[in-house]
Structure 1
Amino acid sequence: MMQPLEQYFKENNGRLINKWQNYFDVYERYFAPYRNKEVVILEIGVFHGGSLQMWKSYFGERAKIYGIDINPRCKELEEANIHIFIGSQSDPIFLQEVKNQIPDIDILIDDGGHTMRQQIVSFEMLFDKVKDNGIYLCEDTMTSYWMEYGGGFKRRGTFIEYAKGFIDSIHAWQSTQKEFKPDSLTTSVASVAFYHGIVVLEKKKIDPPFTLQTGNLSFAPDPPLSKSFWHKMRYTALLLLNKVLRGMRLPGFIWR
C-alpha cells in the first residue's frame, strides 16, 4: 500500500515538487508521529512551493509551516498557515533573524541550495532551534560527492565529512582522550541516521550512559589475571604502544 506522502506526490496537480523517490520511506518513518498535531515545520528551499503544500496537507490544519528561500518571488507563495522568509541560508545574521521570529521547531528540512557551506551553516545556526524530541533532516547530501557543489569522496569540508563527526559526538561519553570530550551534540542527539541522500538527527536530552546487569552466572568466572611484575610490564607496554598508535591514527595492537 502506498504511503500518504508518496501518494500525494504522485497525484499532485498543484505546484511543482521535486523529490528523489527513496525519500518518501524516510519521511514516513520520522514524520508520521507528528501528523494532526500542533507542530512547527521549517523547510529551507521553497522552489515552486509544492512541498510546502504537501507538508500542509500531510501534517494537518494545526501545523504551522515556514519556508526559507533566496528567491524573492517565493514570497508570493504564502497562504494560510504557510509563511516564507526571503534570504540566504548561508547568512548567519539572516538565520538568526528567522530564529527570533518563529516558534521552536519540531521538524526542520534542509532542501535548500545543497552546497557545503549552506548545509553546514544552516545546521550550526538552526539545530538548537529544534525542540527536544524534534527532527533535523538534511537532504540531497549526495552533493557532498559532486564537484560542482564543492564535493568529492572524503574531501575535507563536505557536509558528509562534517556529519561523520556527529557519530563521534554521540560516543564522546566513552572517550578517554583529553582533546575529545562530550559536546552539545553529545547531550542533545539521540540518534544519527544516514540514508542515500539524507542525514537525519533525532534530538533528545541525553544523560551520561551507564550499564546495568541482571540475572545469574551461567558458569564460574575466569580466574583473575596474574598480577606478576611481568604481567604488569606487558600491560603497561601495551597501553603505551596503543597510545602512540592512536596519536598517529593507526590501527591498534592487541596481544592474543
Structure 2
Amino acid sequence: MHGYAQFLNHKGRPIHKGANYFAAYERHFGPYINRPITFLEIGAGNGGSSEFWKGYFGPLARIVTLDISPACKEFEDEQVAVRIGDQSDPAFLQSVLDEFGPPDLILDDGSHIMAHVQASFDYLYPRMSRNGVYMVEDMHTAYWDEYGGGLRRPESFAERFKSFVDDLNVRFVRENDGSVKELGAYSISAYESIFVIEKANFINKQMMYLGDRSRRVNMGAD
C-alpha cells in the first residue's frame, strides 16, 4: 500500500490518521491516483492532510480543503485551495460547488459532530459527481455522546448509514412508507471508524437467467 508508506515517511506539517484507514483509502481512492479529479476534504487539521493527499493523488488532482478556522488559509499552495466556512452551512457549501464544480471524491474529516456530518452529507452527496465516492472517517465518534452520537441514537450517522442497506435495496421493499429512498449508489462499505458510499451514474439491474435450462439438476430452483 503505497499510501501507508507515504504516510509513515511524512516529514511535513502534522497529520493524524489511523493506520487501519489506509486499506480503505487504497480500495476506494486508489483508482483515482494520477487522474484529473477534484478532491474535497472537510477539515484541514494542521495542514499535513492536504500535503498527504497532494502527494497521494499526484499532480492532476485539485485538492479543495474546507475548515472553519481562518488560520488554515496558510495551507494553500499551487494545488491546494482552502476555503473558510462552516461545513454545515448550505450557503457556504454551495459557494464551494459554484467555484470548483461537483467533487469526484469527498472525505469528511471535519468536526465529527453528528449534526455537522449529517448536514454536509445531505447537501453535498446529491451534488457530487454521479460516479463519485463519499467517505466519512473517524466515525467512532458516532458512538460518543459528546459528538451527538451514541449506540443506536437516531442522530448518529452510524444509524443513518445502517439505513443505507435498505435504500440500496429499495426496489425490493414491498411495503415502503416513503422512508426508504433511492440512494443513487451501487455500494456501501463499513470499516472500523470509516463509512463509504460509492455512487454510480448507471447500474444495470436486469435479472438474467442464462445457460441451458434443460441441464438443471434441481428443477424447482431458480
Alignment check: 8 A CA contact 1:130 1:203 kept: no
Alignment check: 8 A CA contact 2:186 2:203 kept: no
- Secondary structure of the corresponding residue to residue 132 of structure 1: coil
Deviations 1:36-61 (A, max 9, x none): 11111010000111111111111111
Alignment check: 8 A CA contact 1:42 1:66 kept: yes
CA distance in 2, matches of 1:126, 1:162: 16
Alignment check: 8 A CA contact 1:172 1:180 kept: no
Deviation at 1:209, TM superposition (A): 2.6
Could you say which residue in structure 1 is the equivalent of 2:4?
6
Aligned residues: 218
Could you say which residue in structure 1 is the equivalent of 2:166?
168
Deviations 1:135-191 (A, max 9, x none): 100001111111211111111111111111211111001111141477341xx2010
Q: Which moved more, 1:173-182 or 1:109-118?
A: 173-182
Q: Cα–Cα, structure 1 residues 210 and 180, in superposed 2: closer, same or farther, change >3 Å?
A: farther
Alignment check: 8 A CA contact 1:173 1:209 kept: no
Q: Cα–Cα, structure 1 residues 219 and 5, in superposed 2: closer, same or farther, change >3 Å?
A: closer
Alignment check: 8 A CA contact 2:64 2:82 kept: yes
Which AA in structure 1 matches 2:210?
T
Alignment check: 8 A CA contact 1:135 1:202 kept: yes
Deviation at 1:219, TM superposition (A): 4.2
- Secondary structure of the corresponding residue to residue 131 of structure 2: strand
How do 1:18-29 residues align onto structure 2 when only pairs under 5 Å count?
18-29=16-27
Could you say which residue in structure 1 is the equivalent of 2:97?
99
CA distance in 1, matches of 2:131, 2:63: 18
Deviations 1:107-128 (A, max 9, x none): 1000000010111000011112
Matched, 1:111 2:87: no
Q: Which moved more, 1:199-208 or 1:160-169?
A: 199-208
Deviations 1:167-223 (A, max 9, x none): 1111001111141477341xx20101111000001110245733211222424745x
CA distance in 1, matches of 2:150, 2:137: 17
- Secondary structure of the corresponding residue to residue 164 of structure 1: helix
Could you say which residue in structure 2 is the equivalent of 1:80?
78
Matched, 1:129 2:124: no
Unaligned runs of 5+ in 1: 223-256
- Secondary structure of the corresponding residue to residue 8 of structure 2: helix
CA distance in 1, matches of 2:116, 2:61: 26
Which AA in structure 2 matches 1:176?
R
Q: TM-score, normalised by structure 2?
A: 0.92
Question: Percent identical across equivalent pairs?
Answer: 38
Q: Which has the higher contact order (CA 8 A, sep 6+)?
A: 2
Deviations 1:52-103 (A, max 9, x none): 1111111111111100000110011100110001011111221122121112
Alignment check: 8 A CA contact 1:109 1:139 kept: yes
CA distance in 2, matches of 1:147, 1:88: 21
Which AA in structure 1 matches 2:125?
F
Could you say which residue in structure 1 is the equivalent of 2:209?
213
Deviation at 1:19, TM superposition (A): 0.5
Which AA in structure 1 matches 2:91?
I
Could you say which residue in structure 2 is the equivalent of 1:191?
187
Unaligned runs of 5+ in 2: none
Aligned partner of 2:142 among 132, 141, 144: 144
Aligned partner of 1:153 among 151, 154, 164: 151
Q: TM-score, normalised by structure 1?
A: 0.81
